Amino acid sequence: MVAALFLTGRSLLKCRMSGVKATQRLCSSFSSGRHRVNGVDLYYEQTGEGKHAVLLIPGALGSTQTDFGPQLKSLNKERFTVVGWDPRGYGRSRPPHRDFPPDFFERDAKDAVDLMETLGFGRFSLLGWSDGGITALIAAAMKPQLIDKMVVWGSNAFVSQDDLKLYNMVRDVSKWSERMRRPMEEVYGAEAFAKTWESWVDGIAQFAHRPGGSICVEHLPLISCPTLIIHGEKDPMVPSFHPHYLHKHIKGSRLHLMPEGKHNLHLRYAEEFNKLVEDFLEESPDYFSTPNN
């Protein structure tokens, strides 16, 4: 879940796509800009010319430039049209200042779906990392008629007491190494990053007070699209019971374990991850006729 923290400074800098101006077409298959969606100007980047549209949803305080460099660069441009975006209050979708009301995941899910419709995509697939995976789960449940397939990793449907301890351990960014702080401070500024991160910890912790710690447990039975759950077995932030819970409660889902993967497995093992995702997105829906492969 804590996507930003467990990216090393080096990985973040490698993934950063700096210097891209809004509403600027860089080549025949890359564009970026902002669209007014639900009262907010949302920043997006779009690459590729394929018929299969895919939306990338970043993690906590994450953005297109920090979270999905290898996917925007290397996912097949002929088969897919890939869209990255910055959720409201994150990255280049500021203002507004980011807040975390009880329905912030539902709000992000609505923004994500409405942005894709604004961009002209009638149906699309979702790739959600960490918090972005939670957003994807909710979007797939809310708008099943729009979602082709879904891939989530580093995500959870509820907050346990163990999770709560992990979140509180990373609350104070002044205790992080400079290498870990710097890339996010470059995006937000040191003071704004520290305050927004503390707000995120409080925002995610509020779910622990709900019955069963539910973030989106009630949404899982409503998901009908083919779903791939990926989990790094060395993920220090998302215990293995979370992906197994998702697999059990999302009908027809598939669980793929990466033995050496950590929280940022799509960055550390980008080639393997991208191949896995591409193969999944192109598989016949008939594969998923057998529940929980």
pLDDT in tens, 95-140: 999 999 999 999 999 999 999 999 999 999 999 999 999 999 999 9
Q: Which one is predicted more confidently, 25 or 48? A: 48
Cα–Cα nearest to 270, from 70, 59, 55 = 70
Please tell me the distance from the alpha carbon of residue 228 to that of residue 287, in angstroms, as a whole number.
12
| Mean pLDDT along residues 179-197 | 92
User: How many Cβ atoms sit within 10 Å of the Cβ of residue 2?
Assistant: 25
Q: Reply yes or no on whether 266 is catalytic.
A: no
Confidence of residue 23 (pLDDT cuts 50, 70, 90): very low
For 46, list phi and psi in degrees, rounded to 5. Answer: -135, 135
Q: Which of 108, 235, 242, 266 is catalytic?
A: 235
**Rounded to whole angstroms, how far apart are CA atoms 8 and 13?**
9
Q: Report how far residue 123's alpha carbon sits from residue 226's, in angstroms, rounded to the nearest whole number.
A: 14
10 Å CB burial of residue 263 (0-12, 13-18, 19+) is buried
pLDDT for the residue 8: 33
User: Does position 145 have pLDDT exceeding 80, yes or no?
Assistant: yes
Is 130 labeled as catalytic in the residue annotation? yes
| More confident: 238 or 18 | 238
Rounded mean pLDDT, 28-46: 95
- Determine the 3-state secondary structure of 165 from DSSP: helix
Catalytic residue among 130, 219, 247, 266: 130
- Taking alpha carbons only, the member of 121, 131, 24, 118 closest to residue 87 is 131
* Predicted confidence (pLDDT) at residue 192 exceeds the cutoff of 80: yes
Confidence tier at 237 by pLDDT (50, 70, 90): very high
Spatial contact of 15 and 68, defined as CB atoms under 8 Å apart: yes
Query: What 3-state DSSP class applies to 267?
Result: helix
Model confidence at 288, in pLDDT bands (50, 70, 90)?
A: low
Which of 106-120, 201-215, 240-254, 276-290 shows the lowest mean pLDDT across its residues? 276-290
State the sign of the Cα–Cα–Cα–Cα dihedral 131, 132, 136, 138: positive
For residue 15, pLDDT over 70 is answered with: no
The yes-or-no answer on residue 235 being catalytic is yes
The catalytic position among 219, 242, 263, 266 is: 263
- In CATH terms, the superfamily for domain 9-280 is Alpha/Beta hydrolase fold, catalytic domain (3.40.50.1820)
